[in-house]
Amino acid sequence: MTITAAADGSALGNPGPAGWAWYVDEDHWHAGGWPHGTNNQGELMAVLDLFRSTVHMADEPLRILCDSQYVINCITKWMPGWKRRGWKKADGKPVLNVDLLAQIDAELAGRDYTFEWVRGHAGHALNEAADAKARAVALAFQSGRAPGEGPGFGVPLVSAAAPGTAGAPGPAGQPDRPASEQASLFDEIAPEAAEAGQPRDLDAVVELEQSLLNPDVRTDYGQLAYLLHPDFQEIGASGRLWDREELIEELVQRGGQAPRFELLDAVPLADDLIHIVYRTVAETASELRSSLWQRTEGRWRVRFHQGTPEA
C-alpha cells in the first residue's frame, strides 16, 4: 500500500505569516505554521511533518507530491554533498534552512519514499488541498486567529488514495485522535523503537544547536522564531535574563561571526527533552554553553540556554 500525499507551504509576503500542510484526504491531513517564515521553510516543514506523522507506518511506501523544485532537489540531489561538506554549499557558504534539512535527513533513514513534482495552482486535487490548508494557516497567523491543524495521521489507513486524487477510505479500528494529541505521534512508538530512535534525535538536535551559531540563521527572524520555543529564556554571559522576543531582536540586529563548536555532552532526559553541553571558541574568548531542547508539536525547539565565559 502506497501512501500518496501532497506537501505545500505558504508565506504572505515571503517572509511573513507562514503556513505548511500535507494532505492525503479530508480524514488525513495536518497543518501548522508560525508568525514569520518563508515559502521554502513551509514546504520543508510540511515534508518533515509528513515523515513524522507516518512513522508508525514506516513499512509503507510514501509518495510525496511537491510543487517546489527547491524542496525536491534539496532532499534528492543536493543534501548528500552538503552533509559531506559539513552542511556547506560548493562555494563554501552555509546551507540555508539547515535546521529543517537536518531533521528531514534524520527521518529518511529506513523509509521507502519517492518525490514527484506537480505544477502548482494547476488544478491537481491533492496539491490544491494542501495549498489551501497551508494558506489558511498563514492567514490565521496574519489575523491573530488560531489556525486549523487537522486530524493528522494517528492510525493506519485501510487503503491509500489513488494517485492524483483525494478520497481514500478513512482509518479503521481506532477513533480519530484530537488535534491536541497529534503532536505526540512519537509517543505511539513501542519503547524499543523509541530507544532505537534516540541517537537519531540526539544527532538532529546537536545539528540544530550548531545551526543557531550560523550568522545566516542568527540574523533570520523566521528561522529563529522557528527554532526558539514560545517560552524560551536565556541567561546570557553578562548575567542578563532574556526572553524570546528580546533575544531574537538582539540577534537579528547584532549578527556576528560563527565560533568554533566543541560538543561536550548530549543526553536525553526524557522522550521529549534533550540536554546539550558544549564549548564555543571565538578569536578572543571561549564560553561554556548549555541548552535544553524540547520536542513540541512534532519538532525540536530550544527551551532554555545559558552561556558562561570560560576561565
Active site residue 8: yes
Separation between Cα atoms, residue 131 and residue 7, nearest integer Å:
8
Average pLDDT score, the chain: 81
Query: Pick from 101, 300, 62, 58: which is nearest to 188 by CA?
Result: 58
Contact 278, 203 (CB under 8 A): no
Q: Is 121 a catalytic residue?
A: yes
State which fold the 194-309 domain adopts.
Nuclear Transport Factor 2; Chain: A, (3.10.450)
**Which is more confidently placed, 184 or 225?**
225
Rounded to an integer, what distance in angstroms lies between the CA atom of residue 282 and that of residue 258? 8
pLDDT tens string 269-296: 998 999 999 999 988 889 999 999 998 7
- For the question of residue 99 being annotated catalytic, the response is no
Q: Is 131 a catalytic residue?
A: yes
The sheet with strand 286-296 has its strands ordered as 241-243, 228-235, 299-309, 286-296, 273-281, 260-270
Catalytic site includes residue 92: no
Q: What are phi and psi of 309, to 5 degrees?
A: -60, 140
pLDDT band at 218; cut points 50, 70, 90: confident
> Which of the residue ranges 115-124, 195-204, 223-232, 290-299 has the most confident prediction, judged by mean pLDDT?
115-124
Q: pLDDT tens-digit profile of 42-79?
A: 999 999 999 999 998 999 999 999 999 999 999 999 99
The pLDDT of 190-216, averaged and rounded, is 69
Sketch the domain layout of the chain as residue ranges.
3-188, 194-309
pTM for the predicted model, two decimal places = 0.56
Q: Classify domain 3-188 at the CATH topology level.
A: Nucleotidyltransferase; domain 5 (3.30.420)
Of 59, 121, 123, 144, catalytic:
121
Active site residue 105: no
Other CB atoms within 10 A of residue 190 CB: 9
Q: Among the listed ranges 21-35, 98-112, 170-184, 220-234, which one has the minimum average pLDDT value?
A: 170-184
